[in-house]
């Protein structure tokens, strides 16, 4: 069902708050992978506030939908979403990546409620998501698996091995997203190790590809609804995004793949988020 205007507005307001929490957490931690966390905010927001069948007060509920954030370095963004959703107190984000904190730079599923899979070694998320999805099928469970990949990590061969398996076994109880912000730690993806023609590659591997503006809630919802309607092959939602989205001085700047801020720069960043919304 298409999003109503009210739903879109609520999602936008939630995304603004999540971006501000990412900024504050980055300051508290002394630095984080903020650029790629900001680029996937809309993807994470629409999943957690529209589609996921989860219970924050029962994080280990057996029939919950699973989320695999394969680009695990963006844990500062995942933590902000989970805190806003009520998995743990937002105040605890102030300990992010500090000594004895439950929150490492890459979130540990054994320590952080709401994290289904520990990630960080790039290229591992999609293989695990395929395994989770096949496990659900074998157990005759109806829960879904949602996997979020970075475009840079699609340099990894394990991604494509998993893609072949997903296609071969017709893993249609999984939806895969790629955060296509076109920048990785060393520079532009197409300069470091080009992935284009990207959509065609996924199609060749047997996926149905929906290419969308990854910051457009309506477009994201339409693609997710399409996937959930039941298709004959796995669905890949290729989300064209902007690294550092919402913070004007971070947008499309590779230096903000990882970065730190003082309080003045953080205030400037939050003012930019307010102006953009």
269 HSE (CA, 13 A, CB side): 28
**The pLDDT of residue 2:** 85
Q: Judge contact between 106 and 120, C-beta under 8 A.
A: yes
**The pLDDT of residue 276:** 72
- Provide the b/e sequence for 50-72 (b: ≥16 CB within 10 Å): ebbebebeebeeeebbbbbbbbb
Q: Which CATH number fits domain 5-276: 3.40.50.970, 3.60.20.30, 3.40.50.300, 1.10.3720.10?
A: 3.40.50.970
**The pLDDT of residue 277:** 66
Domain residue extents for the chain = 5-276
> CA 153 to CA 189: how far, in whole Å?
10
**Length in residues, the chain:** 277
Q: Judge contact between 47 and 223, C-beta under 8 A.
A: no
- Per-residue pLDDT in tens (0 to 9) along the chain, 277 residues: 689 999 999 999 999 999 999 999 999 999 999 999 999 999 999 999 999 999 999 999 999 999 999 999 999 999 999 999 999 999 999 999 999 999 999 999 999 999 999 998 999 999 999 999 999 999 999 999 999 999 999 999 999 999 999 999 999 999 999 999 999 999 999 999 999 999 999 999 999 999 999 999 999 999 999 999 999 999 999 999 999 999 999 999 999 999 999 999 999 999 999 997 6
Alpha helix stretches (DSSP H) within the chain = 5-29, 34-39, 41-46, 75-85, 125-138, 157-168, 189-192, 198-204, 217-228, 263-276
Assessment of whether the complete model's pTM goes beyond 0.85: yes
């Amino acid at each position: 069902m298409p999003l109503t205007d009210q739903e879109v507005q609520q999602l936008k307001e939630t995304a603004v708050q999540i971006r501000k929490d990412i900024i504050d957490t980055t300051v508290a931690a002394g630095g984080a992978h903020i650029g790629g966390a900001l680029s996937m905010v809309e993807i994470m927001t629409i999943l957690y506030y529209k589609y996921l069948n989860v219970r924050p007060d029962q994080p280990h509920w057996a029939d919950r939908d699973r989320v695999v954030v394969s680009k695990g370095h963006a844990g500062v963004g995942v933590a902000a979403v989970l805190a806003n959703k009520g998995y743990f107190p937002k105040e605890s984000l102030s300990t992010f990546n500090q000594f004895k904190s439950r929150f490492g730079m890459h979130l540990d599923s054994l320590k952080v409620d709401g994290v289904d899979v520990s990630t960080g070694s790039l290229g591992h998320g999609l293989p695990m998501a395929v395994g989770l999805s096949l496990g659900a099928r074998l157990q005759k469970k109806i829960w879904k698996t949602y996997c979020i990949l970075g475009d840079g990590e699609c340099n990894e061969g394990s991604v494509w091995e998993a893609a072949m398996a997903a296609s071969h076994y017709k893993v249609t109880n999984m939806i895969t997203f790629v955060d296509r912000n076109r920048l990785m730690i060393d520079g532009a993806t197409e300069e470091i190790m080009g992935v284009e023609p990207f959509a065609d590659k996924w199609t060749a591997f047997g996926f149905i590809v929906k290419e969308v503006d990854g910051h457009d809630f309506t477009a994201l919802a339409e693609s997710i609804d399409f996937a959930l309607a039941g298709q004959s092959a796995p669905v890949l939602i290729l989300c064209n995004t902007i690294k550092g989205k919402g913070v004007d001085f971070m947008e499309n700047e590779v230096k903000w793949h990882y970065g730190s801020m003082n309080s003045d720069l953080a205030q400037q960043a939050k003012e930019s988020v307010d102006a953009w919304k």
